[in-house]
Chains A and B, each alone.
Chain A
Amino acid sequence: MSFLSNYIKEVYGAVSSLLIGMKRTGYYLTHNKEVITEEYPEFRAKMADRFRGEVVMTHDAQNEHACTGCSACELACPNGTIKILNKFDITPEGKKKKAIDSFVYHLELCTMCNLCIVACPTDAIKMSQNFEHSVYDRRLLTKQLNFPGSKLREGVE
């Protein structure tokens, strides 16, 4: 007799556990106001301020940047993502002055670890919030971060 009652108890417990789960599923079926997914191409989420998308160099309205070419970011990078090619400008006094010729950034090697941004002494580079990096040719991922014709901002050492 106890076997039978145990059996019925077990079946009752099993069915009720399934029904409780189905009740929860039914609740979400009928209460679909809590939509948490976002349709991507039409709706683009605003990324957080600190989100690490890619490294960019900040330029002001006069097309001037703050990069002195000290190579601190190049040394800090674990992957060899950054290559800085320096040149020497001749100042009006006839002295040689170091300046960057091109700041080459390999996006395809970058792991967005933020170490270059932390290492930069003049805050010349920062992380942008752009996350859509797909291109058809991998060569397009190698970028020059300083704009053409840009120069070092006055007073930045």
Chain B
Amino acid sequence: MRNVVETTPEGNMVLNVGPQHPSTHGVLHLFITVNGETILNLDPNIGYIHRSIEKMCESLSYRQFIYSTSRMDYLSAHMNNHGCALTVEKGLQVEVPVRAEVIRVIISELTRLASHQLWWGSLAMDLGALSPFFYAFREREMITDIMEETCGARLTMNYIVPGGVMADIHPDFQRKVKEFIVQFKSKIGEYHELVTNNVIFQNRTKGIGILSKEDAISYGCTGPTARGSGLSCDMRKIYPYSAYKNIQFNEILETEGDSFARYMVRMREMEESVNIIEQLIDNIPEGEFLAKTKAVLKLPKGEFYTRLETARGELGVYIVSEGGTTPYRIKFRSPGFSNLSALNHMIKGHKIGDLVSVMGTLDLVIPDIDR
């Protein structure tokens, strides 16, 4: 363990940033080398919240392991479950009912909205504006209420099971989602008034933490982080899965690559998510919500991989099966880990104050990085 403040032979100071107590959640520890206020080097120290989910999954059956992936990226818990279910279904060769696919996509997009709203609120709070957090949670509360009614939980839903969804949608689901869309559309202007157009916010994000398209590719960045640099990487568009095949929507791209571009990608993505939900909410097909599967699931011998878009980027689920009831090996390719690796490159030469805006717009969820 290095000292709290340490001086290198060149006269630069090594500074420890971040809480490191095991009882706090979402712990990220950064060693930053500073010369005055300028950051020369940044070295993330991860692993404080490692729970060995991948290893744990090897002892759980194909129905059981899905619940634990909600705890990786808890803000897009539904998409994590979706990725696992898709991989298991790929192995089992199960045809998922159309109704289940549409429900999955609607709830995925609601989760994305909830995630981006929490990110928007906490980013503004990190940059010194307190009240946007409350405005964001006002709309997010409506989504968590919908989740509670239909899925039974507010954050770690575990609603998707191999073959479909656990239960049919609540009778009030469509009405409540429509109410949310009306509320969200009337308030999105307020978000831009309060934060996007604010001069202090613009000065703290424009031209800060620039990530070029080439660097985004070489660091393996995905999601809004890479799309802010003009890299087209939306898995919903490139490799359409579930009901995304039949939906008209745009991939959001910005070309500047700075913090403000990443911010704008997420803000515009929220509107695009509402657009996707609007297309589907009145067209939920009738029928079964769960395909018939065997009581004990056994994947054939082989390797299965699925990639999908979570709120933070590309999630890859890789399962190696030996033909038994439990997976031989599971690997998750989490978006947060790759996005964090680009932080050193983006922050070099900037001031300590800019670290907050760059980290905020990366939208890091630490349990996703450590797993």
Contact = CB atoms under 8 A, between A and B. Distances in A.
Interface of A: 13-14, 17-18, 20-21, 24-25, 28, 36, 47-52, 76-78, 111-115, 118, 127
Given A25-B194, A36-B141, A112-B153, 12 more contacts: A17-B198, A21-B194, A24-B190, A24-B193, A48-B148, A48-B170, A50-B152, A52-B153, A76-B64, A78-B60, A112-B156, A114-B158
Given A36-B141, A113-B158, A48 B193 contact: no
Contact of B199 (A17, A48, A50, A112): A17
Contact of B63 (A20, A49, A76, A111): A76
Contacts of A49: 149
A6 to B, nearest CB: 15
B68 interface: yes
Contacts, number: 67
A127 B151 CA distance: 12
Interface in B321-338: none
A51 B197 contact: no
Nearest to A21: B194
Given A48-B149, A50-B150, A50-B170, A115 B63 contact: yes
A17 B197 contact: yes
Given A21-B193, A112-B153, A47 B198 contact: no
Interface in B34-90: 60, 63-65, 67-68
Contacts of A24: 190, 193-194
Interface residues of B, number: 30
B284 interface: no
B131 interface: yes
Nearest to A20: B193
Contacts of B148: 47-48, 50-51
Interface string B165-182: 011001000000000000
Interface in B122-164: 131, 138, 141, 145, 148-153, 156, 158, 161
18 contacts: A17-B197, A17-B198, A17-B199, A18-B198, A20-B197, A21-B194, A24-B193, A25-B131, A36-B141, A47-B148, A50-B150, A50-B152, A51-B152, A111-B67, A111-B156, A113-B158, A114-B166, A115-B64
A76 B166 CA distance: 14
